[in-house]
């Protein structure tokens, strides 16, 4: 077992294994041989093999390059989109004001010393 795999939680390990399996299945659905997909992503076959096995030592850049090669880069781009941040949105909603005062119908008062030309 490598040092990197010893440091990840079981949940992370499961997620990486699923991601790797999903990438492998995407490659196979597109009828791409391992060597062709690796060449296209400018990585070695052994690195692609590690990705597909869920190795935690593979860089994020390699994962992004593979997703781009499989035509799925938009999924990577939206990985941390605010729409999917349930905890952050819940915290933000909790801080919303309870009461919002009506908007004044009067025009704003002019600032002294400020002139428009």
Nearest to 47 by CA among 16, 19, 6, 39: 39
Q: Output the pLDDT for position 63.
A: 93
How far from the centroid of its chain's Cα atoms is residue 82's Cα?
A: 11
Q: Is residue 39 part of a domain?
A: yes
Q: Is residue 13 part of a domain?
A: no
Number of folded domains that form the chain: 1
Q: Is residue 9 part of a domain?
A: no
Task: Tell me the percentage of the chain whose pLDDT exceeds 70.
Answer: 88
Q: Is residue 12 part of a domain?
A: no
Q: Is residue 1 part of a domain?
A: no
For 57, the domain range is 34-80
Residue 42's CB is within 10 A of a number of other CB atoms, namely: 10
Q: Is residue 47 part of a domain?
A: yes
Residue 24 and residue 29: Cα distance in Å, rounded?
A: 9
Cα dist. 40→3, 21, 89 in Å?
29, 19, 38
Q: Is residue 59 part of a domain?
A: yes
Helix crossing, 60-69 with 10-29: angle to 10°? 30
Q: Tens of pLDDT along 21-78?
A: 999 999 999 999 999 999 988 999 999 999 999 999 999 999 999 999 888 899 888 8
Q: Is residue 74 part of a domain?
A: yes
105 vs 91, higher pLDDT: 91
The answer to whether 43 and 57 are in contact (CB under 8 A) is no
């Amino acid at each position: 077992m490598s040092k990197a795999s010893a440091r990840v939680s079981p949940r992370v390990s499961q997620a990486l294994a699923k991601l790797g399996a999903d990438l492998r299945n995407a490659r196979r659905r597109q009828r791409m041989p391992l060597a062709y997909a690796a060449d296209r992503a400018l990585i070695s076959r052994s690195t692609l093999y590690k990705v597909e096995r869920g190795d935690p030592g593979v860089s994020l850049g390699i994962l992004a390059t593979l997703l781009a090669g499989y035509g799925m880069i938009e999924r990577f781009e939206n990985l941390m989109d605010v729409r999917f941040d349930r905890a952050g949105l819940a915290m933000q909603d909790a801080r919303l004001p309870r009461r919002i005062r009506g908007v004044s119908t009067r025009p704003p008062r002019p600032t002294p010393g400020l002139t428009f030309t």
